[in-house]
Amino acid sequence: MGMTENAVNTAVTSTSSPAIPAETSAVSPATRAANRPLGTPLGKHPTRVLFLGAGELGKEVAIELMRLGAWVCAADSYAGAPAQQVAHEYRALDMANAAELQALFDEIKPDIIVPEVEAIATDVLAGTAAAGAQVVPSAEIAAICMDRERLRVLAHEELGLPTTPYRFAGSLEELRAGASEVGYPCVVKPVMSSSGHGQSVVRSADAIDAAWTEAQEGRRAADEGDVSRVIVEALAPLERELTVLTVSSSAGIVTCAPIGQRQESGDYRESWQPATEPDGEAERARDIARTAVEGLVAKAQAAGETGWGVFGVELFVLTDGSILFNEVSPRPHDTGMVTMASQRLSEFALHARAILGLPITPEHVSLTIPAGSVAASHAIVVAGDGEVEFTDVAAALAEPGTDLRIFAKPEVHGHRRMAVALAVGESEADARAKAGLVADALTITVE
């Protein structure tokens, strides 16, 4: 454990937020959260924000919170993560270990907890929320969105959103039966994983046993030894995927312009905003996203939590033009990095403001690029083993309307997303090409 080099006051560690007076205990969580003090991060009564996960997305949110005067601590499983480099303090621990996570909460005494990864001891998170901390967007939402089974039941069976046909299975026998019901080809995923981990496309019955094995061994937390339930769903005739960033704040729920994307092996590689859609598609996509987030926020508020923050709602657009709900990320989304070039406020600024109780209105999510133009992002994935250095940055950014964010991750071992190129162009093709040229013009050394 330690402090980042840019931290300036070692006394911050022992500073805790004032206890909530008994006479204010009846005040709603939303009212209390919206009136937290800002502007004295090293003073007597800072608003203390703890990040669980300190990657590149968390880094941008941490910067936005610090701009508004909050105190930030960034925790991750290793030291030197991107958000740790800019926070007031950092910690390194196993956040899936309940004892370690509880010890962290007891030490930091956070007002606000921002989960940025899935591998978190959710029971401890829920207990801390019950004790008065604001979990973003809520402990209940974090638990639902980590579990594909709970999320799909909520979305399709409770909210009536359109989805692919699906079944759940807790054994190989149940998986075989479920796959037979939804039909081949189908997709098999662990219910408690993400980013393509443990996922398989199954095209015939003779491959279903291998899909079960992959779901058990390839998922996150596979070393925990328990059997993971899986979801098997029909492989839809997919034309493309959309992300609709949806913001819940003290002013209600608003949606951003849909974002188009390209993925490889379940991971984002490019995104662009606004996505090109036929007439009416953008509104249908936004309606589905809004309904999904409304349902999640209702769960949070029923549990006495705010439900504030940015949600990345993932949608499928099929070849017949229909739009299906897929999943929700209860935090800023990888594909939303394009908003650093496209919107009045990026998804990171929106997240920071929402969780601090500030109102987010349609004006805050408006596009600021010229009418008819498109913004794009291009993930820069580096292969190798060692530290990563970027040179020829000036040449890469010589083209007008381009930008670059280097994440400053300490090392790569295998493949790792290390930066993102941004561009604004006259069309989707132009913007994507310009962002790709920024990436191609960089000289990247691994040693």
Residue 329 annotated in ligand binding: no
Active site residues: 194, 196, 314, 327, 334-335, 417
CA separation for the pair 374, 183 (Å, rounded): 39
Integer CA distances (angstroms), 198 to 226, 412, 420, in order: 14, 22, 26
Residue 285 annotated in ligand binding: no
Tokens of 100: 């370690």
Give yes or no for a contact between 98 and 121, defined as CB atoms under 8 angstroms apart.
yes
Residue 91 annotated in ligand binding: no
Residue 196 annotated in ligand binding: yes
Give yes or no for a contact between 20 and 32, defined as CB atoms under 8 angstroms apart.
yes
Angle (CA) 177-180-184 rounded to 5° is: 145
Residue 134 annotated in ligand binding: no
Give yes or no for a contact between 164 and 233, defined as CB atoms under 8 angstroms apart.
yes
Residue 235 annotated in ligand binding: yes
Q: Return the closest-CA partner of residue 65 out of 53, 74, 75.
A: 74
Residue 264 annotated in ligand binding: no
* Run of H or E including 324: strand 323-329
Residue 273 annotated in ligand binding: no
Give the SS3 label for residue 327. Answer: strand
Residue 195 annotated in ligand binding: yes
Residue 294 annotated in ligand binding: no
Residue 203 annotated in ligand binding: no
Residue 206, phi then psi, degrees to nearest 5: -75, -5
Residue 432 annotated in ligand binding: no
Instruction: Supply the DSSP symbol for 20.
Output: P
Enumerate the β-bridge partners of residue 238: 318
Residue 189 annotated in ligand binding: yes
Q: Known binding site for ATP: residues?
A: 148, 189, 194-199, 233-236, 241
Q: Known binding site for Mg(2+): residues?
A: 314, 327
Q: Known binding site: residues?
A: 56-57, 116, 148, 189, 194-199, 233-236, 241, 314, 327, 334, 409, 416-417
